[in-house]
Structure formats: C-alpha cells, structure tokens
Structure 1
Amino acid sequence: MRAGDHIPRKRFGQHFLADHSVIDAIVRAIEPRAGQSMVEIGPGLAALTQPLVERLGRLTVVELDRDLATRLRQHPQLQVVESDVLRVDFTQLARDAGAKLRVVGNLPYNISTPILFHLLDHVDAIEDQHFMLQKEVVDRMVASPGTAAYGRLSVMLQWRYAMEDVLFVAPEAFDPPPKVDSAVVRMVPHAEPAAVDAALLSELVQVAFSMRRKLLRHSLGHWLAQRGLTDAFDLHRRAEEVPVAEYLELAARVQADQT
C-alpha cells in the first residue's frame, strides 16, 4: 500500500512509517518467527505489516480506519479486526489463537497511554509488546526513581513489565513527519509480579503523584490516614523518590488491611 493512495487522517493520529532502514531495525528488534501469534495495532499502510507477515505466515491486525481496513482485507495472510483498539479483547484473541500474544504497533500519540493501560488489563495473555511511541512517553515508561520523568505511568507499567528503550526514531522516518521524536520500547511481562489489586495501586499512585513537588505527607499522608495507616510509610519524601517496589509493598499492606 502506498502513502499517496491514502490521505493521513489527523483525528486518527496517522503518521505512516516510511523509512525502510528504521522498519528493518524494528523488525530485527521484534524477531518475529514462523507460527507465532502476533497482533499489530494500527498497521496503516502495512509498512511494518508486510515484513512481519512474511516471517510469521499469518498476522492479526487491528485497524480503526475503514478505508485502510478494507485494503488490508485484500491480503490473504491477514486477519483484520476493524475496531477501536480500546474495545478489543486481547485475552479472547489469545484464547482463539491458543497461545499468548506478541503485540506490536506504531501507536497513535493522542491515545497511546489509554492503549497501554487497556493492554495492562490483558497482560496475562501477552508474551511481549513492542511499540513505537512518542519519545517523551517512552522516557516516562522506563524512568527510574529520582528523575523528572518518573511518575504514575512508570510505576503502573514497571509493576507488570520489564521494559527497555530499544530504538530512537526521528520525525523524518514518517509521512507526514510528526512534530516530536519517537522511540521503540520493548515490554516483557514479569513472570511473578507482586500480587496487588490494580485499581487500588492505581488510586494510591495517582494520589501520591497528585502533588509531586510536595512531600508525600501532603497527599498520600491524608489518603493513608483515612485508612488508619498513618505509620505505614515514610512520608517525608516526594513521590518521585519512592521506588516501584515500595509502592507495591504499601499497596499490599493497604489491601491486607482492607480484607
């Protein structure tokens, strides 16, 4: 499929990957192998789709744009799911495939974070994920405590995944070029993640980072006091100074106290 045949739609956040050297580098990072169950989010003009399906044999793609989905259906080796990715049940796709999924994609920058959290709900059905995202988002995903990029996204994703920033991608690699730098991130689910309630952890971390420039006693302190756990945590720190493991330990304690 050629870019000239399709006008990128701003409402879908469409920026089509066009640099073949970048495409080759991404495929090498993914290492697709024949017979693996893989789902590509937002295949667009199939720049990444074609080299993937050549190695896999079959590939499931999720595409919201009706015109692009119609074109993709002409490819005999593709199973096309025409849908908003936030409505896709990846757990059911894995059941249908009879194997955990490898998920890849060039995620629309305007909804990349909601997609990551949607997939977090299906992490038990996923073998690994490789995504192209805005570089700033990838920096937040892989950030270490004590850095400006470290925040709620860092904690929630690092709870369930080991992550690695594997490739920088300049705007010129796309048609049309976005106004931001991009990067490819690898996400591999932890074999034995901490057993905490996702909704509870999300609430805890959101409260902690709601006043990130102030000490935690001004934010998380009040939240813990409402639960009778005023001595449960060192609150004389800022949210960005607390490692992921400590947030998980605190969530487990709050969870145990509530049961």
Structure 2
Amino acid sequence: MTDAAFDPHSLPPLRDVIAQHGLAARKALGQNFLLDLNLTGRIARSAGDLTGVTVVEVGPGPGGLTRALVASNAKAVIAIERDQRFIAALQDLVDAANGRLTIIEADALDVDPVDIAPAPRAIAANLPYNVATPLLIGWLKRITEYVSLTLMFQKEVADRLVARPGTKAYGRLSVITQWCADARVQFNLPPRAFTPPPKVESAVVHLTPRANPEPAEWAAMEAVTAAAFGQRRKMLRQSLKSLGNAEALLAEAGLTPTARAEEIDVPGFAALARAHAAGVGKRA
C-alpha cells in the first residue's frame, strides 16, 4: 500500500544530490539524468495503475523517476543500479520510502526481474541508451511475466518499436516487439530535458503483453526476421535463401516470393516462423 506521507518534493533537489555526491554523468554508461520531477511523474503515470504491483526500475541514477514511482500506488519499487556512486546518494530516498524501496547493485543485463520481483510485476525505466535494445529483447522473451513495461528510448528506437509495414522505420525490432506486445509511444522529450543533454530526442513507450499473439517459436521468429531484414532491399526469395529453399518456405507461409521484408506484417512473419520451425525448405 502506498505511504501517503511520501512526497517526492520533500527530499533535497536532485541537483543538490548530484552536487553533494559528485555524481557527474558517465558517457560510457549511457547516463543522462532526468531531473524535472514533473516529467518523472508523467513517466510514472504513463505506467498506469500500479496498485499491488512491484515495479522494477533500471538505472535510477540520482533517483528522479524513483521518487515518482515510490510516490505512486506501487506496492514496492526495486531499483537496479550498476554504478556504485549512486547507492549512497539514494539512501535518503530509501529511508523516506519506509521499506517500499530496495536498491540492488548489479548490471541489469545480468538480472532477470522475474527472479527479484514477485508477481504482479512491471518495469519502468529511463534506460541507458547503450543497453536499451538488448534489455528490451530479454524482457520481451518473457513479456507475459509483466503487467507492463514503461521505458524511455532514443526516439529513433521508439519509432522502430511502433513502425508499421511499408515504412522506413519498420524492421526486425518492430516485428519482434509487435508480435509480443502492444506498444504505444506516450510522449517525446527534447534533449534539453536531460542533464547532460543527449544529442537525440527521447520517447517514452508503454508496452503490454499481447492478448492473443500469433503462434510461433521465438528462435524461429528471430531466424526469419534476421534473414529477411539482413537483406531488406532484396526480394524474400533471395533474402531467405540462407534458411534453405526460400520458394518452398514462402509458399508454405502464403507469401509472395517477390515481396520484400518491409512489406510483410507480423502475421506474415509468424507464418514464416512456423514454416521454418516445421522444417519446410530446409536443406537435407
């Protein structure tokens, strides 16, 4: 249950926390801090109703979004931070959260949120951009374990997650994401919203498990999308040759051999994945 006494503005300003602890952002870790509590509050609200939900945050940094999550209806917040400098800086927030905030010092790439957070669980994070995509792929593999994912990406990546077939941004990440989840861009943020300002715009994306995903195996979906988009300018009868008899594979999936990857929707790729998993077109 939410501690109604917690006010994210009751703690020292984030800029003071950064100055006190000497927390300069490290480019090598993809750190860009979001210090405007109005914006961090908006991200937390984008996660929807978190009543009874344990929220996992990745890369809390000085704690801007963390404060907003603790102030939400979330049952508890577990923040994963690999940069030891921030552990001490977050201690005042831990104390103010009255047992609802836990900090885990670790690399998020090495942690499965399912192992550390009880269900129902969600993830909310201003992701370090240099590891955002691999983190997302890992979570999508087990998307049904989460109520939702509310994540900040470079706008270019966010656009790819929600891109439609036939558009320039549509690619392998679009297919994999939309196969597993319903993805919506909530809002964009300009570089000036961050300290230090990145060179790109950012966007918050909300993802929820798809109710009735197209049946397909993960490994097969990865294989067919990798082959198809690896040579996206070529017709599928050419780009899928690495998988075996492309013509047979496409015939089984009901797809036109002269089509290109960017023209195929998620059900089409799922059909390809099922055909590939069944051994259609594979070399003897």
The normalised TM-score by structure 1 is 0.91
Cα distance, 1:53–1:91 mapped onto 2, change above 3 Å: same
1:227 and 1:215 map into 2 onto residues whose CA distance is 11
Name the Cα RMSD after superposition.
1.9
1:81 to 104, 114, 118: 104
1:216 to 212, 215, 236: 236
AA partner of residue 211 (structure 2): A
**Deviation readout 1:96-146 (Å, 9 max, x if unpaired):** x2x131101001111111111111232221110001110000000000000
1:230 and 1:214 map into 2 onto residues whose CA distance is 14
Q: 2:28 aligns to what?
A: 11
Q: Quick check: 1:90–1:125 contact (8 Å CA) kept in 2?
A: no
1:179 to 190, 199, 224: 199
Q: Quick check: 1:38–1:103 contact (8 Å CA) kept in 2?
A: yes
Q: Quick check: 1:32–1:52 contact (8 Å CA) kept in 2?
A: no
- Superposition map of 1:105-184 within 5 A: 105-184=125-204
1:33 and 1:127 map into 2 onto residues whose CA distance is 9
2:173 and 2:167 map into 1 onto residues whose CA distance is 13
2:30 and 2:242 map into 1 onto residues whose CA distance is 39
Percent identity at matched positions?
37
Aligned to 1:70, the other structure's residue is in SS state: helix
Q: 2:271 aligns to what?
A: 249
Asked if 1:100 corresponds to 2:120, the answer is: yes
2:25 and 2:38 map into 1 onto residues whose CA distance is 22
1:66 and 1:200 map into 2 onto residues whose CA distance is 39
237-246 vs 18-27, which deviates more?
18-27
Q: Quick check: 2:30–2:130 contact (8 Å CA) kept in 1?
A: yes
Q: 1:234 aligns to what?
A: 256
Asked if 1:48 corresponds to 2:65, the answer is: yes
Q: Quick check: 2:54–2:121 contact (8 Å CA) kept in 1?
A: yes
**Deviation readout 1:198-232 (Å, 9 max, x if unpaired):** 11110110000111112112111452407953633
Cα distance, 1:162–1:34 mapped onto 2, change above 3 Å: closer
AA partner of residue 104 (structure 2): V
Asked if 1:39 corresponds to 2:56, the answer is: yes
Q: Quick check: 1:221–1:230 contact (8 Å CA) kept in 2?
A: no
Query: Which residues of structure 1 form unaligned runs of 5+?
Result: none
Q: 1:200 aligns to what?
A: 220
Q: Quick check: 1:164–1:185 contact (8 Å CA) kept in 2?
A: yes
2:188 and 2:37 map into 1 onto residues whose CA distance is 14
Q: Quick check: 1:168–1:184 contact (8 Å CA) kept in 2?
A: yes
Query: Which residues of structure 2 form unaligned runs of 5+?
Result: 1-13
AA partner of residue 106 (structure 2): S
AA partner of residue 83 (structure 1): A
1:240 and 1:228 map into 2 onto residues whose CA distance is 20
226-235 vs 123-132, which deviates more?
226-235
Q: 1:64 aligns to what?
A: 82
Cα distance, 1:256–1:73 mapped onto 2, change above 3 Å: farther
1:138 and 1:174 map into 2 onto residues whose CA distance is 17
Aligned to 1:231, the other structure's residue is in SS state: helix
237-246 vs 64-73, which deviates more?
64-73
2:242 and 2:50 map into 1 onto residues whose CA distance is 51
AA partner of residue 154 (structure 1): S
1:51 and 1:230 map into 2 onto residues whose CA distance is 49
AA partner of residue 18 (structure 2): A
Aligned to 2:270, the other structure's residue is in SS state: helix
Cα distance, 1:126–1:138 mapped onto 2, change above 3 Å: same
Aligned to 2:184, the other structure's residue is in SS state: strand
**Deviation readout 1:160-206 (Å, 9 max, x if unpaired):** 00000110101111000000000000100112322321111101100
Provide the aligned length of Structure 1 versus Structure 2.
Answer: 255
**Deviation readout 1:41-64 (Å, 9 max, x if unpaired):** 111111111121122352111111
